[in-house]
Structure 1
């Protein structure tokens, strides 16, 4: 784990933080679970209040907000965090995993109309959930005179890395020329297998590990570029929870790029029926403890059986040979 991460216990001492401008948004998803809506600090094992979360965010140079992409409550809370930063006089620079860096010019040309921005970016065509879920995050950033940055790998580069054709320059840029520690390689491979319902052939896993590492690296690169701007900030990342976990991914890469930067990782985590011990949720991340500075528990989004859909897709692919 990177030594540059500032744990929650330290940043809550940021005494100058103002009171909340607004309470957190009411849950959109069905409640009823005892953990839903609660906030927890894994390192201390203590429950937190929303003010403590905002204080911690105001004490960080980089705030990483890890989501489940189709969970409406996660996006509502992300937008709320941005609004609270704005209310404290900050100008957040928000980087989006959902937009490839080679589409920054498209983003910039269309940022004036948030209603049609998603269509301009081919948001849903590229597989992301309803643009309406993300639009309030963008609008909160713009209202604060902040900026929106693209932060994902371009598709062409993703394909080249998957095929192992990226070349030494890309390897050096993204750290792919350095092997991961064996335990981390094993854990990341396991995450990818589980994320694909254990249906992937073994040969498909190493290319996906390379791509995941490169995605983490380019997101870190975008954030590192933004923290050098003293007139704005903090830099905020909107990304899947796996990218923002404090023990690997973007935070670790950032720790090497901008040593000493104060980071806060917030994981928005869906509750599970019958699981009421917050510490037990580390299992879902393949860890003994939840790998975030702060965990905000939410309701669980209703979704189709993704594994059944994937199995059907792969069976069809085998039958057609495509």
Structure 2
């Protein structure tokens, strides 16, 4: 393998990321290293320390000459054409995000990953299921969107329980069960994107729930790809979840109590 020496500017950028990470307290442990051809790299979406740690790890992979596809939950799968068109037109990371990104994400966290992938010339893969397609799954089932409907009841039980918990008691069980089907659809979509690029290597950026080995995308990988993969949970201090191949802990991101606003709002009606 030919190892490409990164330019000084990139080395300075990596050093700056590590400095920020250290200032946030996320680098008390050794830096995160990605060691398998296929990596499912978890996140807490708003945790700045976790993003800094993961970016340094992805940059390090590219710096040693590897060229894995960057597979992203943050882009819906039907935006792949827009993503590719913006890239073909010579767009930078901001242009790609403007063309194919959507609301609900803090793109400041993900723009450096897209920029790194562009510099390295690696594929950038849209892997998420849109809200519109997720609603179809909730209403009509997984097969309606071409997904595998053979899902163990135990998997749906775990996912529905997590969804109920995350909605602070404001969601009924039937709706949580339907939302669990949408979660499975997203996990299967991410697994399919990884399979498509597994031969050349791939790094998935996704929420920690999606990279869980018991109920997330790893369980939908083929045996051959799973044997070449590692699911890394990047969790906040105090999170006891252990359903990962490897677990990295970062400081908690200060944030308001998410349940306070939910308790003040009317409960969500049951899905029909």
Q: Same fold (TM over 0.5)?
A: yes
Q: Label 1:118 to 1:29 Cα distance change in 2 as closer, same or farther (>3 A).
A: farther
Report the equivalent of 1:266.
Answer: 232
- Equivalents in 2 of 1:91, 1:261: separation in Å? 19
Report the equivalent of 2:152.
Answer: 180
Q: Indicate yes or no: 2:118 matched with 1:156.
A: no
Q: Are the equivalent residues in 1 in contact too, given 2:70–2:202 (CA < 8 A)?
A: yes
Return the structure number with greater helix share: 2
Show structure 1 runs of 5+ residues with no match.
1-15, 40-48, 273-280
Show structure 2 runs of 5+ residues with no match.
6-10
Report the equivalent of 2:8.
Answer: none
- Equivalents in 1 of 2:42, 2:196: separation in Å? 20
Q: 1:218 aligns with which of 183, 186, 189?
A: 189
SS at match of 2:235: strand
Of 203-212 and 104-113, more deviation after overlay is shown by: 104-113
- Equivalents in 2 of 1:298, 1:260: separation in Å? 26
Q: 1:37 aligns with which of 27, 34, 42?
A: 27
Q: Deviations over 1:75-99 (max 9, x none)?
A: 2222211111111111120111011
Q: Label 1:259 to 1:132 Cα distance change in 2 as closer, same or farther (>3 A).
A: closer
Report the equivalent of 2:97.
Answer: 118
- Equivalents in 2 of 1:97, 1:81: separation in Å? 18
- Equivalents in 2 of 1:293, 1:187: separation in Å? 18
Q: Label 1:179 to 1:63 Cα distance change in 2 as closer, same or farther (>3 A).
A: closer
Q: 2:18 aligns with which of 21, 25, 41?
A: 25
SS at match of 1:243: helix
- Equivalents in 2 of 1:246, 1:214: separation in Å? 16
TM-score normalized with structure 2 length:
0.83
Matches for 1:109-148 after TM superposition, within 5 Å = 109-111=85-87, 112-123=91-102, 126-129=103-106, 131-148=107-124
Q: 1:197 aligns with which of 155, 168, 188?
A: 168
SS at match of 1:301: coil
Deviation at 1:198, TM superposition (A): 2.1
Q: Label 1:136 to 1:259 Cα distance change in 2 as closer, same or farther (>3 A).
A: closer
Matches for 1:237-248 after TM superposition, within 5 Å = 237-248=204-215
Report the equivalent of 1:89.
Answer: 65
TM-score normalized with structure 1 length:
0.71
Deviation at 1:185, TM superposition (A): 2.9
SS at match of 1:83: helix
Report the equivalent of 1:10.
Answer: none
Matches for 1:161-172 after TM superposition, within 5 Å = 161-164=137-140, 168=143, 170=145
Q: How many pairs were matched up?
A: 255
Q: Are the equivalent residues in 1 in contact too, given 2:236–2:252 (CA < 8 A)?
A: yes
Q: Are the equivalent residues in 2 in contact too, given 1:64–1:266 (CA < 8 A)?
A: yes
Q: Are the equivalent residues in 2 in contact too, given 1:29–1:72 (CA < 8 A)?
A: no
Of 210-219 and 102-111, more deviation after overlay is shown by: 102-111
Q: 1:312 aligns with which of 264, 268, 271?
A: 264
SS at match of 2:183: helix
- Equivalents in 2 of 1:72, 1:260: separation in Å? 29
